[in-house]
A and B are shown apart, each in its own frame.
Chain A
């Protein structure tokens, strides 16, 4: 089971502000290129895709590849328009699926 952390700015967010959203998840990101001591293949186990929806609309998404380090950390800007929920989804090999949710509180400017 994965653990994820979401960080939104702790300051007051006003409508129209651009805020940095940070998301990190625990995942080994096993490349599939490594072998065990006895030469057996270690099967690939990576996150393939990440997306973030803000009030239902995709504001950021990306594909992951084997060269990405364990516990991938993402940071991306979002323009805050109104209060709404941010939904984060990570999908990966072996049916990996993890969801997180965070509320973005926006005050009228």
Chain B
């Protein structure tokens, strides 16, 4: 190795170390639940005070009801959700076996609706889709988020990380600058969380409604004055996969309550 290449390699390694320097060690990872106030935590812990549980109840009814004459209900294929769907939400987004495309949980619900139930897919962020998503998420409560890399989604993890570190919008900020480098500090009266997607879909008091992870992404994007990707865009799914790799092993606490 010549001196010059040696220096280049050393520089590259230094750069790589700089990029990784803001990774949060497992011992310091905090979920949004850990970082919010005691009142909001109590609201989330009490299934009766948590307004997202209304969506879970709606989701249960949708899961069991046949959507029309001769069309199967979710339950007629999948069975009792409590018995069969535990841990499923922890493994999404996933690669669809037949087409190879990446689907997040709402995307998979939409695929079932069109392909198995012969229905038009519920629109993203609609009450029905959020309700089904919440009902499935609650079946995986307490289970650890599965590592997407270990499930062969390493390429999506890399694409997601590139997005996470890319500066966007008029404020020219990346996700990492807030959520990796400045978490715990104040932004407009709230503490910046570490962006671990453990509780989605969740009830956000600011929204006065239950919303999906993509709604949260859109909020961040408009907050930095960037044009959000369209609903269901592959970029969102890559980003979700990266965040879930980053949060792998953390327990699901859906449906969460957040300020």
Which of A's residues lie within 8 Å of B, judged by CB? 3-5, 7, 22, 24-26, 28-29, 69-71, 73
Contact = CB atoms under 8 A, between A and B. Distances in A.
Given A3-B58, A5-B57, A28-B209, A70 B51 contact: yes
A5 B46 CA distance: 13
Nearest to A23: B48
Contact of B208 (A24, A70, A73): A70
A3 B208 contact: no
B209 to A, nearest CB: 6
Given A28-B208, A28-B209, A29-B208, A71 B54 contact: yes
A5 B57 CA distance: 9
B49 interface: yes
Contacts of B49: 22, 24, 73
A5 B54 contact: yes
Contacts of B208: 28-29, 69-71
Nearest to B127: A26
A22 B208 CA distance: 20
Interface string B159-190: 00000000000000000000000000000000
Contacts of A24: 48-49, 51, 54
A71 B51 contact: yes
Contacts of B54: 3-5, 24-26, 71
Contacts of B51: 24, 26, 70-71, 73
Contacts, number: 33
27 contacts: A3-B54, A3-B57, A3-B58, A5-B48, A5-B53, A5-B54, A5-B57, A7-B48, A22-B48, A24-B48, A24-B49, A24-B51, A25-B54, A26-B51, A26-B54, A26-B55, A26-B58, A28-B209, A29-B208, A69-B205, A70-B51, A70-B208, A71-B51, A71-B54, A71-B208, A73-B49, A73-B51
Contacts of A7: 48
A71 B55 CA distance: 11
Contacts of A26: 51, 54-55, 58
A26 to B, nearest CB: 4
Contacts of B205: 69
Given A5-B53, A24-B49, 16 more contacts: A3-B57, A3-B58, A5-B48, A5-B54, A5-B57, A22-B49, A24-B48, A26-B51, A26-B55, A26-B58, A28-B209, A69-B208, A70-B51, A70-B209, A71-B54, A73-B49
